[in-house]
Each structure stands twice: as C-alpha cells, then as structure tokens.
Structure 1
Amino acid sequence: MDQTALIQHLRHLYPEAEFLEHGGTTFVMYDPDGRLPPERKQPFVTVVPDDAHDTASDLSRPGVYRVNIGVSAETYRAHFGPHPRTGADGLVDTGHDFTVLDTLLPHPVYAPMSWVCVLSPREGTIAALRPLLDEAYTRSVRKHAQAHPLRGAAGTLPG
C-alpha cells in the first residue's frame, strides 16, 4: 500500500481524526472540537516519507515511508519486551534492522515512549495493525475526553 492509500485508509477508519500535513509528514490527531492549542495536540499516528526526522530507516529509498503508532506501554512490552534506552546518537539499540520493510518494529527513536512502526506496510499488514491503530486512537480519544469532559460519547470506534 503506498503512502497516499494508507492515509486515505486512515481517514476512512478514523473520520473524527484531524490530519495535519507538515513538511511531507502526516500527523493524525484527535481534537474534533478544535479546542486544543497546537502545542497540546499529540498525534496517535504519523506517516513519515523521508529522513528529515532520523536516518535509521533509510526512508530515502524510492517508495519507502514509515507509519508510526503510539501504543500503550503494556502493548509495547507485549511485542518487544522492556522499553529500550536512547543511545548517544539519539537512536535506540534494540537489535532490530530498522530498514526492513513490512515488519512491525520498535520505533528507532520513540520506542522508549511506546511507539512502534512499520516501513511501507502491505495491505495485509495494515489489516494486522488494526488493533494497534484502534488502541492508539482510543487512547487519544480518552485523553481528549479527560481534558474536555463535556465532549460526551463521540469519538467511539467505527463499526
């Protein structure tokens, strides 16, 4: 699945999410009523097309992009064990090859904050990622509801 198709798929799955594109990177956030100031908006998914943020994944290869998903600490540990520490170069040392395509990996920089990633996922992989995407979305909805309790029952997962 190419980057454009993935973003369209995410728009379909999470119609209440806000999609902000900046410098080629797409940030997917939950703020349906627009009450959060920009500095408080936190993405639950990002789609990164280049090496502007880090070079660990070698995103300069043709057609390669990275989807990043913010999951809970428990989910991260269930997939990868204890959270790694960031090294002097700003990257984590997990023993993973961060350039491999279509494989769930710890994020090369944000793994200590429970972020996972996949480079250029295929459609089947996107389907397998759905529980992680839903978890990230639900966590974002919950955080928004805690900050704005009058929001009500909106922001539930689509069927």
Structure 2
Amino acid sequence: MQQILSTLRSFDGVLELAPREGGDYPPVAWGDHFFYWSPDGTVPRTQPFATLVTKDYPDDTSSDLDPEGRWRLNIHVGRRRLEGLGLGEPDDPTAPDVLQPHPLYSRQGWLCVILPGERTWPAVLPLLELARDDQRRRLGGTLDTARGNREDPMG
C-alpha cells in the first residue's frame, strides 16, 4: 500500500484526502484515501480519479476487504479505456493482483485491483497517470509535460 500511496503523492497537482477517526468525514471513509487533480489544494466538485479503500463498504462487499491486510485500489479509466482492456467479469472477485472491472462502478469507467503487486504494477502506474491526466483535462488544468502524459499502455 505504501508504494501506491507514495507514487500518488509524488504526482504533480494531486490532492489526497485521507479521512481519520474523529474528523469531518463519515466513519465509513476513515482509513481510506481519495486522490484528485487539484493543484491549488481545494477539493474539486467531482469524483476522485483514484481511491484506495481498506475495508468493505455496506453496498460493496464482493472484494472481501475486511480481513486484516486487504485493500483495493480503484482507478477511473473511463468507459472506452475500460472496454478496451477487455477485462470481463472476474472468475474470483476476491483475487489479489488482478486488474478487474470495479464491482459496482465499472459502467462509469472504474477498474480495480486488490493488493496490486508485481503482476499488475506495470499497468497500474501508467493507468494512474492517465487517470490523473484525464481529470486534469476535464477540469481545465495544465501539467508540466516533463513529468506526466505517459502513453496509454493499452493502446
């Protein structure tokens, strides 16, 4: 998890929300991480481009995230890119280190990977960069091209 968090925190113009117990956010979000394109540090009025969830949510239990040490990275890649990946329905929605459509939000262009590892990391990193860049474009931002704008790993 630290590798993913460190990577996302290193992206230019990214805001991380990490709700903690006793804060302003609902208890269901405590311990999770939400990433937005926001170079000025204000929370944009849009969904994050990536989330890292550390537990099952009441309406989202198919990944079995409640056991200790399990977590899931969710990335908004867009419907067209998600379709282009050809992931299909997973044989085992609890399997670690497998790119798969998000169990609830695939129709909105989200994918996920439980416990990303060496099998999925080569795809995860560029997909995170593309998700950040897509949100930046939607929000009308700019980006130093020396650090971002990698080619789409899926074509």
Range into which the TM-score falls when normalised by the shorter chain: 0.7 to 0.9
- Which of residues 70, 77, 81 is equivalent to 1:75? 81
1:36 is displaced (CA, Å) by 5.4
Partner of 1:158: 147
Distance in structure 2 (CA, Å) of the matches to 1:10 and 1:95: 26
The one-letter code of the counterpart of 1:32 is P
1:28 is displaced (CA, Å) by 0.4
**Aligned positions of 1:32-47 closer than 5 A:** 32-34=39-41, 40-47=45-52
Partner of 1:140: 135
How many residues are treated as equivalent by the alignment?
Answer: 137
1:9 is displaced (CA, Å) by 1.9
Q: What is the TM-score normalised by the length of structure 1?
A: 0.75
**Greater share of helix:** 1
The answer to whether residue 17 in structure 2 is matched with residue 20 in structure 1 is yes
- Which of residues 107, 115, 119 is equivalent to 2:110? 115
Q: Deviations over 1:24-55 (max 9, x none)?
A: 11000011124555xx1320000000012511
The one-letter code of the counterpart of 1:133 is L
Q: 1:129 to 1:65 in 2, by over 3 A?
A: same
- Which of residues 12, 22, 38 is equivalent to 1:31? 38
Distance in structure 1 (CA, Å) of the matches to 2:41 and 2:129: 21
**What's the secondary structure of 2:139's corresponding residue?**
helix
1:156 is displaced (CA, Å) by 4.4
- Which of residues 51, 68, 74 is equivalent to 1:62? 68
1:81 is displaced (CA, Å) by 6.9
1:80 is displaced (CA, Å) by 3.0
Equivalent pair of 1:31/1:41 in contact (CA under 8 Å): no
Equivalent pair of 1:44/1:137 in contact (CA under 8 Å): yes
Percent of residue pairs bearing the same amino acid type: 35
Distance in structure 1 (CA, Å) of the matches to 2:7 and 2:65: 21
Structure 1 segments unaligned to the other structure (5+ residues): 83-93, 146-150
Q: 1:73 to 1:155 in 2, by over 3 A?
A: farther
Distance in structure 2 (CA, Å) of the matches to 1:6 and 1:81: 22
